[in-house]
Structure 1
Amino acid sequence: MSTTANNSTVAQAPNIVFILADDLGWADLSVYGQADFTTPHLDALAGEGVRFTQAYANSAVCSATRFALITGRYQYRLRGGLEEPLVRKAHVHGLPPEHPTLPSLLRDAGYDTALIGKWHLGSLPTFGPLKSGYDRFFGNYGGAIDYFTHKPGVGDAVARDLYEGEVPVERVGYYTQLLADEATQWIGERSAAKPFFLSLHFTAPHWPWVGPEDEEISLGLKDLFHYDGGNLATYARMVRSLDKAVGQVLDALKAQGLADNTIVVFTSDNGGERFSKTWPFTGQKTELLEGGIRVPTLLRWPVRIAPQVSEQVTATMDWLPTLLAAAGVAPSADYPPDGENILPVLESHAPAYPRTLFWRYKSQRQRAVREGRYKYLRINDNEFLFDVEDDTLERANLRDKHPEVFERLRAAWEQWNAQFLPITDEVITHGLSPDIQADRYVPDLAERGM
């Protein structure tokens, strides 16, 4: 693949394939440090494009990050974005259909749009992909389903969470592969005459811990939640299956002659969980330590961007302004992005520019600010200042050594937080669910001196 193209090719609006993994840890790809197994297709994607070293998820859990991705804004601007994750009130709080989104803005500019995979931004009949900019949807509305039964729970009385548009459907097969097959077919139906935007949102490697050869294990599960079953070998099979699925989709682009002018992005919705590798960071999903929010991120666009390793600090909400800029589409003036367009830095190989990013989680039990090399972190009543460039494990508290930095970042968080919807007791009650509860993780943090 070349990094240049003739003027007619460059002038064409790029296709976009946005691939989102679920709960993939920072070092779960071999190109990011996984040594127990390999991910050759994603490693190749990294070698052909941009590998980010300082990319963050907007939240430490999935649905909140997905609000930021689709709107380009901090999720705390929307009531549904406060749930973290959106579980018990998905029929009440979701992505408002009238809100401009990345797919709706591209669709209005002439793109074919599709979401294949996980939605998790509110349930029918009020919310859904077809109401928020996607022309086609195949996948699950909720947060997690079994890979073989395609149900969000165990038992014959539990309905499948698998839909074609807004109609329930049945399929046979391992879910990661089903999504790859659907995406491959959809790409095969495209032509160079009209650009397309494909959101391919896998549930892998989110629990339940079931690999592609584990159908009998799947049918025997008593609990789909993350503490039931699993081991490192099973997790490896899940990630390798994800890697294979991505390779299949990339091959489909090549077969259609669309690879050079297609932007491919691969990232995760938050940090890893039970079996993930997050070295050299600590922390995991639901925590604002680096392991809970720093995510592997790759981008390839051969006609415009040369292969490189980028140290640019970026967040999930940056993808809307960045991809719209690549497509020549303006964001909504009524809903300006909080994210930033990072395309100029990637195209010019310019040095990374400074960013300040903010997080909060679960009734402000956790809060964080990243500014330059420093990170302010609060967990319960414990406050820290870390140099996350030199101290990636977040062990040395520098609050007394650099009190001016500590106080500045603490004040900056308060000022930032005042702009957004508050996390009330009612939000906390709705946000708690059987699968994710902040209280489960507090002892882990306490054991680390947090």
Structure 2
Amino acid sequence: MSQNPSPNIIFILADDLGWADLGVYGQTDFATPHLDALAAQGVRFTQAYSNSAVCSATRFALITGRYQYHLRGGLEEPLVRTAHKYGLPPEHPTLPSLLRDAGYETALIGKWHLGSLPTFGPLKSGYQHFFGNYGGAIDYFTHKPGVGEAVPRDLYEGEVPVERVGYYTQLLANEASSWIGQRSADKPFFLSLHFTAPHWPWVGPEDEAVSRGLTDLFHYDGGNLQTYGRMVQSLDAAVGQVLQALEQQGLSENTIVVFSSDNGGERFAKTWPFTGQKTELLEGGIRVPTLLRWPARLRPQVSEQVTISMDWLPTLLAAAGVAPDPAYPPDGENILPVLEGQAPVHPRQLYWRYKAQRQRAVRDGDWKYLKINDNEFLFDVALDTLERANLKHQHPEVIERLRAQWLAWSAQFHPITDEVMTHGVTPDIQADRYAPERATRERI
């Protein structure tokens, strides 16, 4: 099909959003009308995964189209205390750099979290405009950074610190809406809109007093379901504002809009019918709500195709008529033929590893192999979404095959060494570090 004119692309990424935190995925405690409408107008995925159960590792995979373990920074999971040393190498081709070189105008508005200045940054990796935070967490009102940042606030325009007043989710929506209206009309654009919502601290748009009273950004003793709901609703409204700006410019028809999350939900998220959460390779830690709208080429549909974060580079490049860099072939897959009905839904082989509890996972067809410490599990995730029925004794040949596949796959990448195991652990992971073991004990 003709690629003339080239589509615009907006990739919207939420932070720690749970599988069922949108109405269209099962949320009943609060409404998400704008994202539900986006789902009705496009593709809603039922088997979409993140490349990791934590933030920066997934972002390495998303921007490169490859397993994050090709790069040393992708092992940190998450990239915190070593962000000055292990980031996204500026020489590595990326989704924005490949689109930029093909004539796209590129921007990142929101969270970067792929290495710190002066060595790393979005302007060094293909984005021509940047407004947002370099680190992993930012307070919603004071814009103070998270652990490991030596700056009074983590808010930048390009590589220059700036000050803004307001709730961060809304600031990002305003910036993105403005950028869409001011872009070069003679060029297609690629906008990465990476929100920090609904990542902690647990602060809603009316909670400025709470924000300014915080002494610990991790906010262990704060938050509740109602505050979390307001955070997600603010995210939903922000997405609606950006989509309205797109409509006002007359660009909706030939603009690809993708919405997803960097990993599964945190403590207040809804993940039913899955168990597990962020930092766990149970389905609740890696299955993410994912939507895609492109009226010019794709009919509204619900897709059962298994997909993962690193698929977006080859998929969006194909939509734009741009080839990947042959020296860095994607590990992800172009799923456009499936969505257009030119190819049937097909099984995938996907792999994960996570240093906490030395977790391993394989998704091969409907089979899932999971290892937590020394405990191994085999699930049919199509039938057993809760991952309760361990079938390893009924199908020993399957678990042996998947175990061998994982070992062969893992041997291709940087190993998770003792040095890696002692870096990048943040208090939120420590707080939840025993959750996989609790889940394990329930099944033994």
| TM tier, smaller | over 0.9
Residue equivalent to 1:439: 433
Q: Residues 70 and 320 of structure 1 are in contact (CA less than 8 Å); yes or no, is this contact kept in structure 2?
A: yes
Q: Residues 364 and 423 of structure 1 are in contact (CA less than 8 Å); yes or no, is this contact kept in structure 2?
A: no
2:178 aligned with 1:178, yes or no? no
Counterparts of residues 144-155 of structure 1 (less than 5 Å): 144-153=137-146
- What displacement does 1:266 show? 0.0
Q: Residues 21 and 203 of structure 1 are in contact (CA less than 8 Å); yes or no, is this contact kept in structure 2?
A: yes
Q: Residues 372 and 437 of structure 2 are in contact (CA less than 8 Å); yes or no, is this contact kept in structure 1?
A: no
Deviations 1:182-208, CA, capped at 9 Å, x for gaps: 000000112542100000000000000
Separation (CA, whole Å) in 1 of partners of 2:209 and 2:261:
28
Counterparts of residues 195-234 of structure 1 (less than 5 Å): 195-234=188-227
Q: Give the alignment's TM-score, normalised by structure 2.
A: 0.97
Counterparts of residues 138-287 of structure 1 (less than 5 Å): 138-153=131-146, 159-287=152-280
- What displacement does 1:364 show? 7.0
2:84 aligned with 1:105, yes or no? no
Q: Residues 32 and 296 of structure 1 are in contact (CA less than 8 Å); yes or no, is this contact kept in structure 2?
A: yes
Q: What amino acid is aligned across from residue 324 of structure 1 in structure 2?
A: L
Q: What amino acid is aligned across from residue 360 of structure 2 in structure 1?
A: R
SS of the equivalent of 2:193 reads strand
Separation (CA, whole Å) in 1 of partners of 2:336 and 2:403:
30
2:387 aligned with 1:412, yes or no? no
Residue equivalent to 1:449: 443
2:100 aligned with 1:87, yes or no? no
2:160 aligned with 1:131, yes or no? no
- What displacement does 1:322 show? 0.2
SS of the equivalent of 1:309 reads strand
Residue equivalent to 2:33: 40
Residue equivalent to 1:314: 307
Separation (CA, whole Å) in 1 of partners of 2:434 and 2:192:
32
SS of the equivalent of 2:210 reads helix
Deviations 1:193-239, CA, capped at 9 Å, x for gaps: 21000000000000000000000011111221152300000000000
Separation (CA, whole Å) in 1 of partners of 2:116 and 2:100:
22
2:14 aligned with 1:21, yes or no? yes
Separation (CA, whole Å) in 2 of partners of 1:378 and 1:33:
29
Separation (CA, whole Å) in 2 of partners of 1:77 and 1:297:
25
After the TM superposition, which of the residue ranges 375-384 and 10-19 deviates more from structure 2?
A: 10-19
Identity over aligned residues, as a percent? 80
Q: Residues 363 and 423 of structure 1 are in contact (CA less than 8 Å); yes or no, is this contact kept in structure 2?
A: no
SS of the equivalent of 1:34 reads coil
- What displacement does 1:404 show? 1.3
Q: What amino acid is aligned across from residue 64 of structure 2 in structure 1?
A: T
Deviations 1:251-285, CA, capped at 9 Å, x for gaps: 00000000000000000000000100000000000
Q: Give the alignment's TM-score, normalised by structure 1.
A: 0.96
Q: Residues 135 and 146 of structure 2 are in contact (CA less than 8 Å); yes or no, is this contact kept in structure 1?
A: no
Separation (CA, whole Å) in 1 of partners of 2:410 and 2:419:
18
After the TM superposition, which of the residue ranges 58-67 and 145-154 deviates more from structure 2?
A: 145-154
Deviations 1:420-439, CA, capped at 9 Å, x for gaps: 00000111111222332373
Separation (CA, whole Å) in 1 of partners of 2:368 and 2:177:
41
Counterparts of residues 291-330 of structure 1 (less than 5 Å): 291-330=284-323
Q: Residues 363 and 424 of structure 1 are in contact (CA less than 8 Å); yes or no, is this contact kept in structure 2?
A: no
Match of 2:395 among 381, 402, 407: 402
Q: What amino acid is aligned across from residue 85 of structure 2 in structure 1?
A: V
- What displacement does 1:449 show? 3.3
- What displacement does 1:446 show? 4.2
Counterparts of residues 331-346 of structure 1 (less than 5 Å): 331-346=324-339
After TM superposition, the runs of 4+ consecutive aligned structure 1 residues lying more than 6 A away are: none
| Corresponding residue pairs, total | 441
Residue equivalent to 1:425: 418
Match of 1:382 among 375, 391, 399: 375
Residue equivalent to 2:363: 370
Separation (CA, whole Å) in 2 of partners of 1:153 and 1:421:
27
Deviations 1:288-326, CA, capped at 9 Å, x for gaps: 000000000000000000000000000000000000000
Gaps of 5+ in 2: none
Separation (CA, whole Å) in 2 of partners of 1:217 and 1:153:
17
Gaps of 5+ in 1: 1-6
Q: Residues 388 and 443 of structure 2 are in contact (CA less than 8 Å); yes or no, is this contact kept in structure 1?
A: no
Deviations 1:60-118, CA, capped at 9 Å, x for gaps: 00000000000000000000000000000000000000000000000000000000000
Q: Residues 362 and 369 of structure 2 are in contact (CA less than 8 Å); yes or no, is this contact kept in structure 1?
A: yes
Q: CA RMSD in A?
A: 1.5
SS of the equivalent of 1:384 reads strand
SS of the equivalent of 2:323 reads coil
Separation (CA, whole Å) in 2 of partners of 1:226 and 1:425:
29
Residue equivalent to 2:108: 115
Q: Residues 280 and 436 of structure 2 are in contact (CA less than 8 Å); yes or no, is this contact kept in structure 1?
A: no
Separation (CA, whole Å) in 1 of partners of 2:194 and 2:250:
23
Separation (CA, whole Å) in 2 of partners of 1:356 and 1:17:
27
SS of the equivalent of 1:11 reads coil
- What displacement does 1:366 show? 0.3
SS of the equivalent of 2:403 reads helix
Q: Residues 108 and 191 of structure 2 are in contact (CA less than 8 Å); yes or no, is this contact kept in structure 1?
A: yes
- What displacement does 1:11 show? 2.0
Separation (CA, whole Å) in 2 of partners of 1:38 and 1:138:
29
